[in-house]
Amino acid sequence: MAIAMFKISREAIQMQAGYHKEGAVSFVAVDELVTRLLAKASDPTTSEACLWALVRFTGMQVYAPAEVGSPLWDRKRDARAELWRIVCTSPELCGPSSVPVPYWGELCPLIQAEIESAVIMALARNPQTPTQVLLFIWEFCDAQRFRHLVEANPVWPLLQLEHIDHPELVTLEEQHKACESACYQKEEWELLGRKVVRYWFRADTIIPRGLYDKHDKTCVASGTAAYGSDVDFLVWLHPDATKKQEAA
């Protein structure tokens, strides 16, 4: 799978301009290093230990099997700067590189967030990413921002078969169709720069299977019980659907 060159956004570059005054950060170096990391994160032949190292770098709270001997796994979340340095200098992850590795603390929060999001997106697309990581990305990462990528992963049907105890494992499209049929009212609006649909359900209505957002928390519905009172839930729109609406 070809990986496009990582590029820091214009907004992040503008933020960086007023963030760190002690020497300029090489955006070219950051772009090259992150592109190398993304190539590994999306490569099905990448070793399990390297994939877990990248998972740890992103800060995802998923625990690796004891047999995976990643030197990064025992490090704490607050050691992000050290994790960044290690993955960027690892021969297995970045390979030989002549570009300098900028200190993590020199990068503004927006650049840091863009790097972490890019790595998570690459892991979400990789069919060799550990199952528990894919499920975590699908349900929890950044208000389900990467859910559609996991559902597009070739292993998604296998995840559904292997996790029968997770009946909420349905796609966004399937969930929206079921909600359309079961709700008595809906409203589309914007939250955190993303389009969502608010669905209202009667007290005796079986809530369709899937992931919902309620009070800024992810809620899971198995499609087997009613809520007991009239209730409303948010469901994020698929990014492609949002783009089509904006272009119309």
Q: What is the value of pTM for the model shown?
A: 0.87
Question: Is the same domain home to 146 and 187?
Answer: no
CA 186 vs CA 52, 113, 221: distances in Å = 40, 32, 18
One domain for residues 38 and 116: yes
- pLDDT at residue number 246: 46
Q: What is the pLDDT of residue 21?
A: 56
Going by pLDDT thresholds of 50, 70 and 90, the confidence category of residue 59 is confident
Residue scoring higher pLDDT (97 or 226): 226
Give the closest residue to 54 by CA, choosing from 109, 133, 114: 133
What six digits make up the tokens of 97? 């590189």
Kindly state whether residue 2 falls inside one of the protein's structural domains.
no
My answer on whether 66 and 91 are in the same domain is: yes
Picking from 103, 130, 162, the residue at the C-terminal end of a domain is: 162
Write out the two tokens for 172. 């966004």
Q: What's the rounded Cα separation, in Å, for the pair 159 and 147?
A: 13
Q: What is the pLDDT of residue 65?
A: 64
With respect to residue 87, please indicate whether it lies within any of the assigned structural domains: yes
Task: State residue 245's pLDDT score.
Answer: 46
Tally of structural domains, the chain: 2
Whole-number Å distance between alpha carbons of 63 and 53: 11
Look at residue 55 and tell me if it is in a domain.
yes
Q: How far apart are CA 92 and CA 97, in angstroms?
A: 12
How confident is residue 22, by pLDDT bands cut at 50, 70 and 90? low
Residue in the structure block whose two tokens are 């999306």? 42
Domain end point (choices 104, 137, 162): 162
Q: Are residues 188 and 146 in the same domain?
A: no
CA atoms 104, 106, 112, 118: torsion sign: negative
Q: What is the pLDDT of residues 153-187, one digit of tens each?
A: 999 999 988 888 888 899 999 999 999 999 999 99
Residue 165 has phi, psi (to 5 degrees) of: -75, 0
Q: Which tokens in the block code for residue 158?
A: 């296998």
Closest CA to 243 of 195, 190, 180, 196: 195
In a domain, 198, yes or no: yes
Average pLDDT, the chain: 85
Q: By percentage, how much of the chain surpasses pLDDT 70?
A: 87
- Choose one of 114, 136, 162: the last residue of a domain: 162
The answer on 152 and 177 residing in a single domain is no
Question: CA-to-CA distance for 45 and 10, rounded, in angstroms?
Answer: 33
Say if residue 72 is in the same domain as residue 107: yes
pLDDT, one tens digit per residue, over 67-91 is: 554 444 444 544 788 889 889 998 8
Q: Give yes or no for residue 205 having a pLDDT over 50.
A: yes
Domain membership flag for residue 235:
yes
pLDDT band at 122 (very low <50, low <70, confident <90, very high): very high
Domain assignment present for residue 1? The answer is no
Owning domain of residue 117: 10-162
The alpha-carbon radius of gyration of the chain (Å, integer) is 20
Both structure tokens of 230: 């009239």
Do 188 and 157 lie in one domain? The reply is no
Res 73: pLDDT: 44
